[in-house]
C-alpha cells in the first residue's frame, strides 16, 4: 500500500489539497444489503461491491448536497466532493465529525448503525460550527474481529497488517499471492467482510434502500464452476460500472485460481 506514503502532508492538512478549505462535512451512506450472495458452492465478494461503483453514486449525492448548501451560501467555487478518491484520511475525518469511533478492526463504527457504510466528504470554504456530540470507543474487551480474521491480519487492536489482509491482497495487491498455508482466504475472491460480519455493532445494520447497490441476478446465479471458467467478456458483462473493475480481469482470475488451488 505504498500509495499511502504519498501526499502525507495533504492527508493531514486538507487546505493543501484544496486551497481555501475551512470546514469538512462528512457523511455516511449505508450499503448493507437486504440479500447476500449464497455461500454454498460460491466464491465471495465484499458487500460493498454488489452493485454499481460507489465512487460514482456517492459523488453524485455529495454534489446534490453541495447544491443544497449553495442555496443558503451562494455559489462556492472552491468546494469539492470526495469519496475514497483523493489523499484524505476518510475514517479520521469522519471520526472527527463525530460519526463514529474507530473499532479494533480499524473500521469506523456508528454505535446505532454499525460499519457497513461508505464515507464521503464535502470540503467547503465556509466556517461551520460543530455541534455534534463526541462518540466514545465502545469496543471494550471484545476481540471478535481479531480472533475471527483467518490470516491474522489484525495483529493487535487497531493495527492491521495489510500484507496479510484478504481485502488488500485480492484488490490492491498486484503481484502473485504468496503460497503461504497461513493465508486462508475462506473463499473470498474480492474483498472480505469477516471482521465486520462478526462485529456485535453490526447487529444494528439495516438494509440499504439504494437501487444502484442492489445485487444483480447475474451475480446471484454464479457458482464456483462458473467463476473458474470466467472469460473477459463475461467479466465485463458482470461488472460493468462496478468497483470490482479495480482489480481488473487478470486480478480476479488470479484470485479465483488461488482459491481453486488452495
End-to-end CA distance of the chain: 24
pLDDT digits (tens, 9 = 90+) for 237-246: 999 999 999 9
Q: Given phi > 0 = left and psi -120 to 50 = alpha, else beta, which region is 187?
A: left
pLDDT digits (tens, 9 = 90+) for 32-48: 999 999 878 999 999 99
Beta pairing partners, 23: 124
Residue 4 has pLDDT above 70, yes or no: no
Instruction: Give the pLDDT score at 3.
Output: 46
Task: Report yes or no on 91 lying in a domain.
Answer: yes
Kind of pairing, strands 188-190 and 44-45? parallel
Residue 132 has pLDDT above 50, yes or no: yes
My answer on whether 13 and 67 are in the same domain is yes
90 is catalytic: no
My answer on whether 118 and 192 are in the same domain is no
Of 65, 93, 124, the domain-final residue: 124
Task: Report yes or no on 42 lying in a domain.
Answer: no
Kind of pairing, strands 80-82 and 117-124? antiparallel
Beta strands in 14-58 (DSSP E): 23-30, 44-45
My answer on whether 77 and 158 are in the same domain is no
* CB-CB contact of 180 with 94 (8 Å): no
Task: Report yes or no on 29 lying in a domain.
Answer: yes
Of 94, 124, 154, the domain-final residue: 124
pLDDT digits (tens, 9 = 90+) for 90-111: 999 999 999 999 999 999 999 9
Least confident of 89-98, 127-136, 170-179: 127-136
Whole-number mean pLDDT of the chain?
Answer: 93
Task: Report yes or no on 133 lying in a domain.
Answer: no
My answer on whether 69 and 114 are in the same domain is yes
pLDDT digits (tens, 9 = 90+) for 187-218: 999 999 999 999 999 999 999 999 999 999 99
| CA nearest to 166, candidates 103, 98, 247, 224 | 247
User: What CA–CA distance (Å, rounded) separates 217 from 215?
Assistant: 7
Residue 232 has pLDDT above 60, yes or no: yes
Task: Report yes or no on 84 lying in a domain.
Answer: yes
Query: In terms of residue numbers, what domain contains 61?
Result: 2-33+52-124
Catalytic residue among 84, 161, 226, 257: 84
Task: Report yes or no on 115 lying in a domain.
Answer: yes
Of 77, 94, 124, the domain-final residue: 124
Task: Report yes or no on 211 lying in a domain.
Answer: no
Task: Report yes or no on 132 lying in a domain.
Answer: no
- Count of other CB atoms within 10 angstroms of residue 16: 13
User: What CA–CA distance (Å, rounded) separates 196 from 18?
Assistant: 33
My answer on whether 93 and 161 are in the same domain is no
Residue 180 has pLDDT above 60, yes or no: yes
My answer on whether 150 and 181 are in the same domain is yes
Least confident of 123-132, 161-170, 246-255: 123-132
My answer on whether 18 and 62 are in the same domain is yes
My answer on whether 103 and 148 are in the same domain is no
My answer on whether 178 and 84 are in the same domain is no
- Of the pLDDT bands very low, low, confident and very high (cuts 50, 70, 90), residue 1 is low
Instruction: Write b or e for each residue in 145-174: b if 16 or more Cβ atoms lie within 10 A of its Cβ, otherwise e.
Output: bbebbebebbeebeebeeebbbbbbbbebe
My answer on whether 111 and 14 are in the same domain is yes
Please give the residue that has the higher pLDDT: either 58 or 179: 58
Q: What is the number of residues in the chain?
A: 262
Residue 131 has pLDDT above 80, yes or no: no
My answer on whether 67 and 160 are in the same domain is no
For the chain, what is the domain count?
2
My answer on whether 91 and 120 are in the same domain is yes
Amino acid at each position: 500500500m505504498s500509495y499511502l506514503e504519498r501526499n502525507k502532508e495533504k492527508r493531514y492538512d486538507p487546505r493543501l489539497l484544496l486551497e481555501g478549505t475551512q470546514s469538512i462535512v462528512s457523511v455516511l451512506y449505508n450499503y448493507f444489503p437486504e440479500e447476500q450472495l449464497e455461500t454454498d458452492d460460491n466464491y465471495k465478494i465484499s458487500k460493498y461491491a454488489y452493485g454499481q461503483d460507489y465512487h460514482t453514486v456517492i459523488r453524485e449525492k455529495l454534489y446534490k448536497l453541495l447544491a443544497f448548501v449553495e442555496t443558503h451560501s451562494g455559489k462556492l467555487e472552491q468546494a469539492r466532493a470526495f469519496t475514497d478518491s483523493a489523499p484524505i484520511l476518510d475514517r479520521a475525518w469522519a471520526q472527527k465529525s463525530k460519526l463514529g469511533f474507530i473499532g479494533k478492526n480499524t473500521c469506523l463504527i456508528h454505535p446505532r448503525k454499525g460499519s457497513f457504510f461508505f464515507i464521503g466528504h464535502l470540503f467547503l470554504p465556509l466556517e461551520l460550527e460543530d455541534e455534534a456530540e463526541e462518540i466514545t470507543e465502545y469496543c471494550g474487551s471484545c476481540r471478535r474481529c481479531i480472533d475471527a480474521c483467518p490470516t491474522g491480519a489484525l495483529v493487535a487492536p487497531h493495527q492491521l497488517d495489510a500484507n496479510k489482509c484478504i481485502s488488500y491482497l485480492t484488490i490492491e495487491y498486484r503481484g502473485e499471492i504468496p503460497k503461504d498455508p497461513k493465508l486462508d482466504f475462506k473463499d473470498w475472491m474480492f474483498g472480505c467482510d469477516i471482521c465486520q460480519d462478526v462485529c456485535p455493532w453490526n447487529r444494528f445494520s439495516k438494509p440499504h434502500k439504494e437501487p444502484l447497490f442492489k445485487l444483480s441476478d447475474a451475480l446471484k446465479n454464479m457458482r464456483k464452476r462458473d467463476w473458474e471458467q470466467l472469460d473477459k467478456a463475461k467479466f465485463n458483462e458482470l461488472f460493468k460500472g462496478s468497483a470490482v473493475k479495480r482489480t481488473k480481469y487478470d486480478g480476479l482470475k488470479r484470485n479465483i485460481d488461488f482459491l481453486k488451488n488452495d
